[in-house]
Amino acid sequence: MKICRQALYVQIIDGIGTVRACGWAGYYLLGNLRDNTMSEVYNSEAAKRFRQTLIEGTYDYCNEENCPYMANNILESQLVEIEKIPEYPEIVSLAYDRRCNYHCTCCISRCDDKMDPVVQEKVEREIRAALPYVKTFSANGLGEFFVSDSMMELVSEWKPEEIEGAKFELETNGSLLNEKNWKKVENIGDADLSVTLTVHSFEEAAYQYLSGTKMKISQMEENLRFVKKLREEGKINFLEIAMVMQERNFRTLPDFIDRCLNEFGADKVRVRRFLPEKAMDENIEWFFDIRNPLHPYHQEYLEVMKHPVFNDPRVFKWTGEHLSNRGELPAKANYKVLKDLFLTENVGEKLSDYFLSQGYRRIILYAITDIAKAIVKVLQNQPVKIEYIYDRNTCLGEWEGLEVRKPLYKDLKKTKGPLLVTLVPRHGEMEGFLRHQGYEGEILCLEQILENVKFQS
Ligand code: SF4
Ligand code: SF4
C-alpha cells in the first residue's frame, strides 16, 4: 500500500506520555504511555482510523496550511510503499519534556513543569522498548532538547550503528549546542544526522525579543560556528537553519538567509510562517502575521519577498506563495458583528426572515464562539432552527443545547448545509478549510448577512 510516511510516526508530547500522530495534522491523539504500552498506542483504534484516512487519501485530519507537503503540492514525495503497518513505529519523536530555556513569541509548546518521576520512568520504559525498531529518531519539536536530562539520556542509549539506514533529526534552538553538550549525545553522529536549528534573527534586539532570552547573539554565533565544524567533519549530514518570519524580523530576512548559507554553512534555510495559535492575545498575534494582506506592512513584506535570495533552491518557504487568510483584526471584526447583533432591533426575526427568504429552514453553525452563542440566543423561538454545530477543536459533544460534531471529510461531504461561519474574523480561512474537507454546500457570511438585514424595517 502507498501511504504518507508519517503513518509510521509517533510523537510523545507531554508529561503523561501522550502520543500523537503527525504534528501537522493538529492534535490527533493516539493514546498515552502512562496507561498503555507503545505497541498498544500505535495500534489503537484512533491510530487505525488516522491511518485509514491516509490510505484512502481523504486526509481528514491533515491541515493544508500546516503541512508543508500539501502547501507546496509535493505530497507525492512523502508517500512510501509498505506491505503492512509494523508493530512499533519506525519514526519516533521525543517531545514529552517540554521545558525550554527560551520564551519565543510564537511558542505554544514550552512549559516549566518537571515530570512526575514515576510517570517519567514508565514513559522512558515504553520508549526504550521501541528503540530497537526505531529507524528515524528525533527530538525535540516541543521544548528544548538540551534542557531535558531524560531525553538526552535516552538518546545517548540509542545505537544507530546497529540499525540499517538509521537517521536522527535534531531540532534545537541552538543556545546549548556547544562542545560539552554534544559530547553527551555524540552517538547520534553515527546516524544520518540532520540538525534543524532555529534562530529568529541575527539582530540582537530582535533575536532576544522573539526568543524571550537575554543570551547575546554572539554566543549563538559561536555555537553556529561549532555546528558548522561538525557539518564540515561529516558528523552532521544536513544542517538546516530555521526561523519564524514575523513583523519584527521580516525586513532583515535577505541578510539573515545570506549569513545562514554563506557564513554558517547551512544546507537549507527554512522560512516558516507565523501562525497565530493563541500564544498571545489574538489581536497582538494578528500584528505579527505580515503575510496577511490586511496587515499594514504587508506591501513592504511583498517587496522583501522579491529579493533574489528567495530563488535560491536552498531556501524553503514553508507556505510557498500562500498568503495568510486570517482576515481582519479579530477585535475589529468581532466588534462589528456583535454590535450589529446587539443593536439591531428584532435581529432574530430579521435573520430568520432572511434565511427563510433564501429557502433555509435549518442552518448549521461553524464553530463554537461567543458569536455562535449570540446567534443561538437571537434565533430562539424563531421558525429557523439550528441543526447542530461543527467545531474541530473541541472535545465537547454538546454545547448550548446543540449537538457538536467534528468536521470530518466523510460527514462534510454529505452535509447539505447551509453552514453559517461564526468564527467571523477567520471567515476566509474557514471557507478554505471547509472546501478542502469536501463540503460542497452554501457557506454563509454572517457579516454580510447582517449588513443586508440591519436596515430592514
Ligand atoms: S499529509 Fe501532511 S499532515 Fe497529513 S500525515 Fe502526511 S505529512 Fe502529516
Ligand atoms: S525554542 Fe522557542 S519555540 Fe522552541 S520550545 Fe523553546 S520557546 Fe518554544
Gap between the Cα atoms of 244 and 176, Å rounded: 20
pLDDT (mean) for 195-213: 96
Grid cell, residue 40, equals 498498544
Q: Percentage of the chain surpassing pLDDT 90?
A: 79
User: 331 pLDDT exceeds 70?
Assistant: yes
Tell me the mean pLDDT in the region 111-127: 93
Q: For residue 432, name the pLDDT band (cuts at 50, 70, 90).
A: confident
Of 97-111, 130-144, 267-281, 361-375, the range with the highest mean pLDDT is 361-375
110 lines ligand 2 (CB under 6 A): yes
pLDDT band at 323 (very low <50, low <70, confident <90, very high): confident
Find the mean pLDDT for residues 95-114: 89
Which DSSP string corresponds to 233-280?
TTSSSEEEEEEEE-TTTGGGHHHHHHHHHHTS--SEEEEEEP---SSS
- For residues 204-221, average pLDDT: 96
Q: Which residue has the cell 541578510?
A: 255
C-alpha of residue 17 to centroid of ligand 1, in Å:
22
- For the CA of 143, the closest atom of ligand 2 is 5
pLDDT digits (tens, 9 = 90+) for 180-189: 999 999 999 9
Do 178 and 227 touch, CB atoms closer than 8 A? no
Question: What is the rounded distance in angstroms from the CA atom of residue 181 to the CA atom of residue 205?
Answer: 26
- Return the ligand number nearest the Cα of 279: 2
Closest CA to 14 of 141, 146, 185, 168: 141
Of 152, 192, 147, which Cα lies nearest the Cα of 169? 192
Instruction: Kindly tell me if the per-residue pLDDT of 300 is higher than 70.
Output: yes
Is the Cβ atom of 59 under 6 angstroms away from ligand 1? yes
Amino acid at 41: V
Residues 362-403 have pLDDT tens digits of 999 999 999 999 999 999 999 999 999 999 878 889 999 999
Q: In the structure grid, which three cell numbers stand for residue 451, read together?
A: 449588513
State which ligand 2 atom lies nearest to the alpha carbon of 106: 3
CA 149 to ligand 1 centroid distance, Å: 30
- 425, 334 Cβ separation under 8 angstroms: yes
Span 94-114, average pLDDT: 89
Give just the sign of the alpha carbon dihedral 391, 275, 64, 416: positive
Residue 347 CA to its chain's centroid (Å): 38
Would you say residue 125 has pLDDT above 90? Answer: yes
- Going from the C-alpha of 237 to that of each of 170, 232, 269, the distances in angstroms are 11, 9, 15
Predicted local distance difference test score (pLDDT) of residue 457? 66
| Cross-strand pairs, 31 | 19
Measured in Å, residue 134 CA sits from the centre of ligand 2 at: 25
Index of the ligand 2 atom closest to the CA of residue 102: 7
Counting every residue, how long is the chain?
A: 457
Tell me the CB-side half-sphere exposure of residue 298, using CA atoms within 13 A: 14
- Whether pLDDT at 336 is above 70: yes
C-alpha cell at 200: 529568529
Ligand 2: distance of its center to the CA of 212 in Å?
Answer: 9
**Mode of pairing for the β-strands spanning 29-32 and 18-20:** antiparallel
Alpha-carbon Rg of the chain, whole angstroms? 24
Q: Find cell 473541541 and name the residue.
A: 394
Please indicate whether residue 24, judged by its CB atom, sits closer than 6 Å to ligand 1: yes
- Considering every ligand atom, which ligand is closest to the CA of 24? 1
239-265: pLDDT as tens digits:
999 999 999 999 999 999 999 999 999
Nearest CA, atom 5, ligand 2: 143
In angstroms, rounded to a whole number, what is the distance separating the alpha carbons of residues 180 and 133? Answer: 29
CA of 25 to the centre of ligand 1 (A): 6
Coil, helix or strand at residue 5: helix
pTM of the model: 0.80
What does 307-320 look like in DSSP terms, one character per residue?
Answer: SGGGGSTTEEETTT
Q: How far is CA 272 from CA 132, 240, 425, 436, in A?
A: 33, 12, 23, 22
C-alpha cell at 244: 519564524
| Angle between helix 330-343 and 370-378 (nearest 10) | 10
Is pLDDT above 80 for 307? Answer: yes
pLDDT of residue 409: 80
The finding on whether 3 has its CB within 6 A of some atom of ligand 1 is no
The C-alpha cell that represents 154 in the structure block? 535516552
pLDDT of residue 320: 65
Mean pLDDT value of segment 345-374 = 95
